A and B are shown apart, each in its own frame.
Chain A
Amino acid sequence: MKITLNIWRQANASSKGAMQKYDLDDVSEDMSFLEMLDLLNENLNEKGEDPVAFDSDCREGICGTCSLMINGEAHGPEVTTTCQLHMRSFKDGDTITVEPWRAEPFPVLKDLIVDRSAFDRIIQSGGYISVNTGSAPEANNLPVEKAKADRAFDVATCIGCGACVAACPNGSASLFLGAKITHLGELPQGQPERESRVVDMVAQHDHEGFGGCTNIGECTAACPKGIPLDVISQLNKDLRTAMLHGR
């Protein structure tokens, strides 16, 4: 396949970026999208041009590191991570536009790499259960209804990639937030901190500069792990309850 790429190039956080065009021959449809970029970088390196910086690590769709807007869609045309997107999703002769996640709380560090540490700070504000090592009770002393355990698992599969934010016209991280609130809120272990958790995490979310949710649903449509939109309802419900209790 022959592919033309329009790629966002930006030397560092403070410099101005611009789109740059590259042509690539010999793309095979079995390549992943990132392997196609590896090939581009080998060519650039050979020509003495600075390779395109992009994030990836596990390349198995689970670490959440890769993060590209491809033709305006988070992770590209398939609902998956960029590392699991294959060139068979494109046609010979296609022109593909590649940009970094766009959201104010995710500043560009170089080319296609952004800083997502705002997500870590949201977790720091309450996205955990307070239990010290060594003080845990015997695991089977606390049964968990299978349906609840399954739902907790379904939403705990969030990989923190940030596609929800990148896809949202408001730049909201409500899906990410709702997934964590729902994961811990479904489990008996998560109850003691349930109310303080939601209040603190929402406050941190807003403080980081993520936008509000207006129920557009682009987040869940772009989510490679299929986190459902109702986690945002759960988030709002938990927040209302907490506020009712004067938290």
Chain B
Amino acid sequence: MTDTNVTSDAAGFFTLGEPIADTKAPADVPVPQRWEERKAHAKLVNPANRRKIKVIIVGTGLAGAAAGATLGEAGYQVESFCYQDSPRRAHSIAAQGGINAAKNYRNDGDSTYRLFYDTVKGGDFRSRESNSYRLAEVSASIIDQCVAQGVPFAREYGGLLDNRSFGGVQVSRTFYARGQTGQQLLIGAYQALERQVAAGTVTTHTRHEMLELIVVDNVAKGIIVRDMVTGEIETHLGDAVVLATGGYGNVYFLSTNAMGSNVTAAWRAHRKGAYMGNPCYTQIHPTCIPVSGENQSKLTLMSESLRNDGRIWVPKKKEDCAKDPRDIPEEDRDYYLERIYPAFGNLVPRDIASRQAKYMCDEGRGVGPEVDGVRRGVYLDFADIIERVGRDTVEAKYGNLFDMYAQITAENPYEVPMRVYPAVHYVMGGLWVDYDLESNVKGLFVAGEANFSDQGANRLGASALMQGLADGYFVLPYTIANYLADSHERIDESHPAVIEAKKDVEERINHFLTVNGTRSVDSYHKELGHIMWEYCGMERTKEGLTKAIGLIRELKADFWKNVKVLGSAESLNQSLERAGRVADFFELGELMCIDALNRRESCGGHFRAESATPDGEAARIDEEFAYVAAWEWAGEDGHMPVLHQESLAYEAIEMKARSYK
């Protein structure tokens, strides 16, 4: 370990460790050939040996269910875990808009290279080229696989697949199933998983939450879970562990994530040695239904696909903001995205659309009800498209989204424009993995949103579903086989690492149930969320982040002394479940702020106010920050996290400023 990097804004909050590198991508061949090359030389496991090998998969969303189904088909013993009551309820199910694939069905010039290019550029040159290329490369097979499973994608009258375009790109490559694409893809993967349950290769453990990773000499050997119904603490040992546990956006309390989405599995792995990559990269989705009141528990997004046909505007004059939007004449409306970014208009990437919405509201030109003295909303207006193609056509395309909006807001979006505002949606950060999706803890693989590798500092719309399925169906089955082909020593439940992990879990649970404090878990979570949104949200400053770290530390200390969790450990206890997750969110939140503080540049979802161009656009600083920040856990309070840097080199694409003007 070397000295703290004294020039960093985060000096005093971390120490600098050895650089890190991905050693698995075949660097000696050009980027487009790397995946073929890797597959060609990956070791294989003979079919007779596969049934003796046990793979533990935590999470049953697109990545987890797809990996479970595929590894089950291959003949491995798969143990699949989820906290929900059924694998079908994983949060991938809520994705609305679509999934990208470089099929070029529209003859509009799409190709693997172009999808790769859009991904790397959209990620603001902070993703790994080799991973992003592979993602684009396997994308076409995903559509084939899903169609074969019976996923009812939208069709044209000729019977072929329909597609549409999404934010940040100029081709039409997004396949969709009305506004419920995530649901249909997940049902496909879930059905494939259940087929393997029937075949006896997969065992599902629903209502089970992973609370600890078992590691021996930096090799993952199994997990400790809690049966959320009986409270029993169980040990599951295996030859490899896959975490496909989604993102940690709920650190902000209010987000578009499901209520149960949490960071615990990934964070426990982090505490056992796995590096956390780029934790500060949070994607703010530009089109969510604005917050309506204090007791709100979550935010609902309106699919980005709506930006294809909806026009975004705010009044030009502040005094018009309280008016009925239909009474504001055309010349008094500011279609600000079309004005500032004429080439992309309403389809600029998410980070840009979000930030501009914030600026409009900060200027006092926001619309909708005042919450804490500010109107936080912009219009997403369908009047033009309804006039052009008719209400029926719009209804066929977006009907369910319009219904959902009406249900939540009690307003009719066919008649008055929708009101939208940015909200936390997806995280690009996650556990650090190499090209094989293996973390720096051997035998611990991380897939989908839970890893950091493919999306860079910003994720393009319709690329999350693509990554989940790519990792689960087409990447892990090869790379994990390469790991499993070598023999690995098994341990049994009497091993000291198992006993220790189990003891840690029990002590933690026991602590929560005996603190007997005065404040509910949710009240802490809300307060943490406020701090994160205020200081580590859409715009970050050195001063704000430094303040946030102090506030989080104080609140965390109070949480451990003063939280109130009722009930017992040996029963279904939802407050207890949340207490453990919030405890981990505190530690993660602190690391996110440190990461954001150190990255004194603006890129993608990370916007540092100190690093902007004269016209207010994000200014990246490639000379200093073209690296992945991989953070190592150093211990409890008082031990500073260690930063390992993986430098990013661009061979296939020239690194340049991202402009959508």
Contacts and interface: CB of A to CB of B under 8 A. Distances in A.
B301 to A, nearest CB: 8
Given A84-B408, A160-B88, A42 B159 contact: no
A12 B156 contact: no
B86 A142 contact: no
Contacts of B229: 109-110
Contacts of A127: 191, 194
A135 B574 CA distance: 42
A46, A62, A117 — most chain B CB neighbours (10 Å): A62
Nearest to A109: B229
A213 interface: no
A199 interface: no
A64 interface: yes
Interface string A143-175: 111100110110011011000000000000000
Contacts of B535: none
Contacts of A184: 150
B574 A63 contact: no
Given A38-B295, A128-B192, A190-B150, A140 B91 contact: no
Interface string A59-80: 1111111000000000000001
A73 to B, nearest CB: 17
A146 B157 contact: yes
Contact of A57 (B70, B73, B91, B177): B91
A51 B566 contact: yes
Interface residues of B, number: 78
A214 interface: no
A30 interface: yes
Given A80-B407, A113-B572, A120-B194, A58 B160 contact: no
B563 to A, nearest CB: 10
Interface stretch (B29-37, B178-186, B492-500): B178-186
A28 B410 CA distance: 14
A45 interface: yes
Nearest to A111: B572
A129 B148 CA distance: 8
A109 to B, nearest CB: 6
A50 B564 CA distance: 11
A162 B143 CA distance: 30
B477 interface: yes
A205 interface: no
A117 B159 contact: no
A34 interface: yes
Given A119-B86, A153-B152, A28 B295 contact: yes
Contacts of A190: 150
Interface in B316-337: none
Contact of B566 (A48, A136, A146): A48
B84 interface: yes
Contacts of B85: 55, 65, 115-117
Contacts of B146: 139
Contacts of A149: 152-155, 159
A246 interface: no
B520 interface: yes
A38 B297 contact: yes
A80 B404 CA distance: 10
A12 B159 contact: no
A57 B155 contact: no
B382 to A, nearest CB: 21
A142 B160 CA distance: 8
B154 A143 contact: no
Given A38-B297, A53-B572, A157 B191 contact: no
B183 A131 contact: no
A95 interface: no
Contact of B69 (A30, A55, A133, A160): A133
B152 A45 contact: no
B218 interface: no
Contacts of A59: 258-259, 297-298, 300
A27 B390 CA distance: 40
Interface string B228-266: 010000000000000000000000000010111000000
Contacts of B404: 60-61, 84
Given A60-B298, A128-B191, 19 more contacts: A12-B571, A35-B295, A35-B296, A49-B566, A59-B297, A63-B84, A63-B89, A84-B408, A116-B86, A117-B85, A117-B86, A120-B87, A120-B197, A132-B70, A133-B474, A139-B103, A140-B105, A146-B157, A149-B152
12 contacts: A28-B293, A28-B295, A30-B293, A63-B84, A86-B410, A117-B86, A128-B195, A129-B150, A134-B141, A139-B146, A150-B152, A150-B155
